[in-house]
Amino acid sequence: MASVPQQAAPKQLPLDLSIEVQKDVNGIEMGVLENGIPYLTQRGLSSIVGVARSVIQTITNEWEEHYANPVIGKDRISYFKQYLFANGYFEPKLFIETLQNGTVHFNYPDVVCMAFLEYYAFESKAAGTVALENYRRFATFGIRRFIYEALGYTPADKWKFHHDRISLLKDSAPPGHFTVFQEITGLVVDLITADLTVNHKTVPDISVGIAWSKYWCDNNLESKYGSRVQYVHNYPSYYPQSASNPQTPNAYPDAALPEFRLWFKQTYLLTKFPKYILTKANLLPGGAKEALSIAEMYKGKALPKP
């Protein structure tokens, strides 16, 4: 079993995530974040477990103290650590902190909720019938599915954000030129297949475009291939970036395409993409661990250097 880091846990800042939907369903506050993670509020969690909110808060504080200093912690924290680590949860807090309209929200993800339920159903001396009944209910139905159906939430089509941009980009590049977005389509498809939440925050065309533009200028590629030109591109109306439509990114001469592809595979994917994808870890259901896995999967795809 993995060990908790010995150094003090870094302060977790509110994440750049939106709450897709949150409601009170039969006295249980629940919701779904924009990355698809279902959660219960602290009040909702205390309701399904059958203990006071103050108890949930106490265990939450104990987890943070133990994470910062593994010597500290009651026996019940050992149970939570074993359960959560086994299910891939290694975060320094038991909740996901988000900021909505200036208000901080504390959202307990489904895996944490199941840890509380199982503990109070079978392990705690204060185990009660509420926790046991809800544990049986969720163990059979699945807490993720329960929250989705209770809220009437349907996970978004993971291809929609990509396909809608492709449809608006069609035929927009000037003849004899290629666009960065068109060239990274293969990468985006890989990300979707790997279950990354692909939306206006995770498609890396701006990241690639900035890095390639710098490479283009630093190596004076205009003298070698000719001038780049601007073209008009519009984001779909539901993208936040659409407020500044039309966009005018650069298109590059087709003659530079082989060099771009080599640079993309040898330089961007290996040295810049890992840092980019790690900044999006909060949008992945698997967090930083999943982000690292996605970053690693491109190492074997690099082309041999000339």
pLDDT value of residue 274: 79
13: in domain: no
Say yes or no: 190 and 255 in one domain. Answer: yes
12: in domain: no
Say yes or no: 147 and 164 in one domain. Answer: no
The larger pLDDT score, comparing residue 195 to residue 274, is at 274
Q: Where are the beta strands (DSSP E) in the chain?
A: 19-25, 28-33, 38-41, 96-100, 103-109, 177-179, 229-230, 250-253
Say yes or no: 230 and 130 in one domain. Answer: no
Specify the residue for token string 């690099």.
302
* Each residue's pLDDT tens digit, 153-183: 776 666 776 677 776 665 567 889 998 988 8
Q: Are 41 and 108 in contact (CB under 8 A)?
A: yes
9: in domain: no
Tell me how far apart the alpha carbons of residues 83 and 112 are, in angstroms, rounded to a whole number.
Answer: 9
Residue 73 Rama label (left phi>0; alpha psi -120 to 50; beta): left
Tell me how far apart the alpha carbons of residues 200 and 283 are, in angstroms, rounded to a whole number.
Answer: 11
Residue 303: pLDDT above 50? Answer: no
How would you list the strands of the sheet with 96-100, edge to edge? 19-25, 28-33, 38-41, 103-109, 96-100
- Name the pLDDT band for 152 (thresholds 50, 70, 90): confident
Predicted structure pTM score: 0.57
Say yes or no: 290 and 170 in one domain. Answer: yes
Percentage of the chain surpassing pLDDT 70? 79
Say yes or no: 261 and 235 in one domain. Answer: yes
Residue 249: pLDDT above 60? Answer: yes
- Which value, to the nearest 10 degrees, does the dihedral of the CA atoms of residues 276, 282, 284, 286 take? 110
Average pLDDT over residues 264-292: 76
Say yes or no: 91 and 146 in one domain. Answer: yes
Average pLDDT over residues 251-279: 87
Pick the last residue of a domain from 101, 118, 151.
151
Say yes or no: 135 and 75 in one domain. Answer: yes
pLDDT value of residue 116: 94
Residue 248: pLDDT above 80? Answer: yes
Count, residues in the chain: 306
pLDDT value of residue 255: 94
Number of domains in the chain: 2
Pick the last residue of a domain from 151, 179, 209.
151
2: in domain: no
52: in domain: yes
Range of the domain at 183: 160-301
107: in domain: yes
Q: Going by C-beta distance under 8 Å and a sequence separation of 6 or more, which residues neighbour residue 126? A: 51, 120
pLDDT value of residue 30: 93
Q: Are 64 and 93 in contact (CB under 8 A)?
A: yes
Tell me how far apart the alpha carbons of residues 196 and 4 are, in angstroms, rounded to a whole number.
Answer: 26
Say yes or no: 213 and 110 in one domain. Answer: no
Average pLDDT over residues 183-188: 82
1: in domain: no
Pick the last residue of a domain from 151, 182, 217.
151
Which of 37, 59, 63 is closest to 49 using CA atoms? 59
DSSP letter (8 states) at residue 235: -
* Each residue's pLDDT tens digit, 48-76: 999 999 999 999 999 999 887 877 657 88
Say yes or no: 210 and 140 in one domain. Answer: no
62: in domain: yes
Say yes or no: 294 and 189 in one domain. Answer: yes
C-alpha distance across the termini of the chain, in Å = 43
Say yes or no: 207 and 106 in one domain. Answer: no
Q: Are 179 and 251 in contact (CB under 8 A)?
A: yes
